[in-house]
């Protein structure tokens, strides 16, 4: 069993990534999160979050941020350079992952998961499928519309419930870059 540390932009990311990591790696005992409050803050404060993980018995860590339309490899390289230039050398391996799509894209990919969460909460579960494009810049708007149709709030708890119900193979089928995320999680 291992303990993962993740540094993410915000609370919805925490909910989704924690659930998805548990699906990818059932051997992960706990996911400890460091939320930064957006991309700009993450770039400034992720090293501090990693330092904090040293006191929390983290075995492995991954820093995750949206690439915002940039090449994910460039974003990941920038984060690696920032860590290197900080002169902080964590006692655990650290990986970097820049998402090619927003977490909402991953959640849109499996409308069945949204329907199931709506059904479990006693809401409308006749939610329409959405044609998901991995680099859809409208994903958040489409996801909010889907949640509204289902009568669900757009809060971190719902995000986490949907991620827990989601089929990661369906996500990967709609979002091929998701495979890189799986590889990073297995590499940790």
CA 177 to chain centre: 13
Buried residues in 167-187 as b, exposed as e (16+ CB within 10 A):
ebebbbebbebbebbbebbee
**Domain residue ranges in the chain:** 2-101+176-187, 103-172
Across the chain, which has 188 residues, the per-10-residue mean pLDDT values are 93 97 94 94 96 93 90 94 96 93 91 95 86 80 94 97 97 92 87
Contact 128, 91 (CB under 8 A): no
Give me the architecture of the 2-101+176-187 domain, per CATH. Answer: 3-Layer(aba) Sandwich (3.40)
pTM for the whole structure: 0.93
């Amino acid at each position: 069993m291992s303990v993962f540390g993740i540094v993410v932009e915000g609370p919805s990311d925490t909910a989704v990534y924690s659930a998805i990591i548990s699906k990818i790696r059932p051997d992960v005992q706990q996911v400890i999160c460091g939320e930064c409050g957006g991309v700009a803050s993450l770039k400034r404060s992720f090293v501090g979050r990693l330092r904090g993980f040293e006191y929390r018995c983290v075995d492995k860590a991954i820093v995750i941020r949206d690439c915002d339309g940039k090449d994910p490899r460039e974003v990941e390289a920038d984060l690696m350079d920032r860590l290197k230039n900080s002169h902080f050398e964590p006692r655990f391996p650290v990986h970097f992952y820049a998402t090619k799509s927003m977490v909402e894209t991953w959640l849109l990919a499996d409308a069945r998961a949204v329907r199931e969460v709506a059904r479990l909460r006693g809401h409308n579960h006749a939610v329409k499928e959405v044609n998901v494009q991995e680099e859809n810049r409208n994903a958040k708007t489409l996801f909010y519309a889907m949640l509204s149709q289902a009568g669900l709030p757009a809060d971190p708890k719902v995000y986490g419930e949907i991620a827990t119900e989601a089929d990661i193979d369906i996500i990967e089928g709609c979002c091929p870059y998701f495979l890189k995320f799986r590889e990073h999680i297995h590499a940790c």
